[in-house]
């Protein structure tokens, strides 16, 4: 006898209010609206009483980060232990319809990196697990202070079990690059569907010209920067002597 076909699963149809965000000198941050619909098999909502939940995670490009731990020696704070991460997200913002620990278990959170405590940060050394956990908490706290890491429960609205909308704050200090917005449909402790949209954050105007020049003509850019520094220093000294 042939095996029974698995039951069809719902599908997410997501969208985002801005596919590109331009950063100029006056950029003070942005607010992304992420919205979409849940398409159920046959167009019918589940006939049970289990709630439907949505989690949206926006991630920035990964980067290598060195985290240093401060230690007080003779009344002076100095750098002590340190740990480097090969691929930590430069930005991580998660919003959910309910607290994430009420939606899925710890294993599922780790698989999908749902929540700050579930990020897979890839340490560059074989440090003991308790030390890795301590530095991971420190990194999350440092990023959270500048608004680059955060999670907000009860921040996703679901209408009639079909339509959803969420807002994610993009801080002024956000790095440039290609971001991903992942939407997760969760019911009864299981992730039933995942959908991804890409967002590009880039510099514009004079800031973009400077950034591209530094990348494409690094030697010329460095020489011009040094020359301008010398020129401005000489001009400041000349004005001070005259007045």
Residues across the chain: 243
| pLDDT number for residue 83 | 83
Kindly compute the dihedral angle of the four CA atoms of residues 134, 138, 139, 144, in this order, to the nearest 10 degrees: 140
pLDDT value of position 209:
44
Average confidence (pLDDT) over 176-199: 94
Which bin fits 135, alpha (ψ -120 to 50), beta or left (φ > 0)?
alpha
User: Residues 94, 152: contact at Cβ < 8 Å?
Assistant: yes
pLDDT computed for residue 138 by the predictor: 85
Model confidence at 217: pLDDT above 60: no
The mean pLDDT value for 183-203 works out to 92
Instruction: Output the pTM of the full model.
Output: 0.76
Q: Which domains does the chain have, with CATH numbers?
A: 11-203 (2.60.40.1930), 205-243 (no CATH)
Distance between CA 121 and CA 85 in Å, rounded? 6
> Nearest 5°: CA angle at 92, between 90 and 158?
155
Say which range, 74-88, 94-108, 224-238, has the weakest mean pLDDT.
224-238
The 10s digit of each residue's pLDDT in 42-68 is 888 887 888 999 999 999 999 888 887
């Amino acid at each position: 006898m042939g095996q029974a076909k698995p039951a069809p699963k719902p599908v997410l149809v997501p969208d985002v209010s801005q596919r590109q965000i331009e950063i100029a000198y006056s950029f003070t941050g942005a607010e992304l609206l992420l919205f979409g619909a849940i398409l159920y098999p046959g167009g019918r909502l589940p006939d049970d009483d289990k709630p439907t939940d949505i989690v949206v995670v926006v991630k920035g490009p990964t980067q290598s980060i060195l985290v240093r731990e401060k230690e007080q020696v003779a009344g002076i704070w100095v750098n002590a232990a340190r740990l480097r991460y090969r691929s930590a997200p430069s930005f991580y913002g998660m919003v959910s319809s309910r607290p994430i620990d009420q939606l899925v278990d710890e294993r599922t959170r780790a698989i999908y990196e749902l929540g700050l405590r579930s990020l897979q940060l890839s340490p560059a050394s074989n440090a003991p697990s308790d030390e890795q956990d301590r530095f991971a908490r420190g990194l999350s706290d440092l990023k959270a202070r500048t608004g680059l890491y955060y999670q907000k429960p009860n921040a996703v609205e679901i209408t009639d079990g079909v339509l959803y909308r969420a807002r994610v704050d993009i801080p002024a200090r956000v790095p440039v690059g290609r971001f991903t917005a992942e939407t997760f449909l969760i019911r009864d402790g299981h992730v039933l569907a995942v959908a991804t949209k890409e967002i590009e954050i880039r510099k514009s105007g004079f800031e973009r010209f400077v950034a591209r020049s530094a990348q494409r003509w690094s030697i010329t850019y460095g020489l011009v920067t040094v020359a301008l520094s010398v020129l401005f220093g000489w001009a400041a000294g000349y004005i001070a002597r005259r007045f």
